[in-house]
């Protein structure tokens, strides 16, 4: 399989999956953009070409470095999600209406108007049905802040034709300074039995050397995210979760071309036979 390579260039933006900027870890000449990993994921999964076209038209319409992508691996399938941030909230430039207009040639979008709500980010799920034209844009995920706590957090809602419905709560922690708080939040779960809980089965020591840990409380599972990890930590994550060799091998073979970047990864988990079981995982980058 011939990979689509995008090379780093002067003026490129470097940002994590919250669109918070960072300085690259080393020289960028001869290095790859993180978008290369998105194209690789779409190719390995055999995604319909329309999904690639949707990614391209959104990048062209919003500008480079304005969109975060996530590649999500679940039982028997890979899906993707695109995230669009605008922390100006009500003074936003990146709105659902703007996204719908860009997407109009590919898929209709008829959803309630929530432009007066102070959201700072929306996301769009990409799957084979959207790529084959079997569905329109029938849902955006809408994210709002959650002030009033010493823990930085955010709320997500599903926006469908029926309106907004609450989905997830995300709590952000400094990975080095707030380890006890991370463990306490992780243990306070509706999806895990507390007695005998092995936190290291989820808080992988190899990934705790990161920048930010996010614990997510969701309807059917919980989630855990490790932000700002290195390419070697990304490889460990992919290998431990048995990602396709076409994905893992590409990262391994191009490690030097990818070692200037920071990465973000996440897992969703439930409890099975008394132990945490990872049911979905994802890795993220900038488009």
Contact yes or no for 248/259 (Cβ under 8 A): no
d(CA 190, CA 212) in angstroms, rounded, equals: 23
d(CA 133, CA 196) in angstroms, rounded, equals: 47
Of the candidates 227, 232, 234, the one whose C-alpha atom is nearest the C-alpha of residue 213 is: 227
H or E element that contains 258: helix 255-258
Of the candidates 140, 130, 217, 128, the one whose C-alpha atom is nearest the C-alpha of residue 171 is: 217
Give, for all 287 residues of the chain, the pLDDT tens digit.
567 999 999 999 999 999 999 999 999 999 999 999 999 999 999 999 999 999 999 999 999 999 999 999 999 899 999 999 999 999 999 999 999 999 999 999 999 999 999 999 999 999 999 999 999 999 999 999 998 666 688 999 999 999 999 999 999 999 999 999 999 999 999 999 988 888 889 999 999 999 999 999 999 999 999 999 999 999 999 999 999 999 999 999 999 999 999 999 999 999 998 889 999 999 999 99
| Interstrand relation of 152-160 and 163-174 (parallel, antiparallel or unpaired) | antiparallel
DSSP 18-81: T--B---SS--TTPBPTHHHHHHHHHHHT--HHHHHHHHHHHHHH-TTSEEEEEEEETTEEEEE
Cα dist from 37 to 43, 69, 73, whole Å? 10, 10, 14
């Amino acid at each position: 399989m011939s990979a689509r390579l995008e090379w780093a260039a002067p003026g490129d933006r470097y940002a994590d999956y919250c669109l918070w900027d960072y300085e690259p870890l080393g020289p960028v000449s001869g290095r790859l953009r993180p978008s290369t990993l998105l194209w690789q994921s779409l190719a390995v999964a055999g995604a319909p070409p329309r999904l690639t076209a949707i990614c391209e038209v959104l990048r062209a319409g919003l500008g480079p470095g304005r969109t975060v992508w996530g590649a999500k691996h679940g039982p028997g399938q890979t899906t993707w999600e695109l995230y669009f941030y605008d922390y100006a909230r009500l003074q936003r430039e990146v709105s659902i209406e703007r996204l719908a207009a860009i997407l109009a040639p590919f898929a209709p979008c008829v959803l309630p108007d929530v432009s007066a709500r102070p959201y700072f980010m929306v996301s769009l799920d990409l799957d084979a049905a959207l790529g084959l034209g079997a569905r329109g844009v029938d849902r955006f995920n809408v994210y709002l802040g959650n002030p009033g706590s010493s823990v930085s957090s955010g709320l997500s809602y599903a926006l469908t034709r029926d309106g907004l419905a609450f989905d997830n709560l995300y709590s952000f922690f400094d990975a080095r300074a707030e380890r006890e708080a991370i463990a306490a939040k992780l243990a306070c779960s509706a999806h895990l039995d507390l007695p005998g809980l092995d936190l290291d089965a989820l808080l992988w020591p190899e990934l705790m050397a990161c920048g930010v840990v996010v614990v997510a409380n969701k309807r059917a599972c919980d989630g855990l995210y490790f932000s700002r990890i290195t390419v070697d930590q990304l490889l460990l994550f992919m290998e431990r979760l048995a990602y396709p060799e076409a994905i893992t091998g590409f990262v391994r073979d191009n490690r030097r071309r990818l070692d200037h970047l920071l990465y973000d990864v996440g897992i969703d988990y439930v409890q099975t036979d008394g132990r945490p079981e990872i049911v979905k995982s994802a890795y993220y980058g900038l488009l």
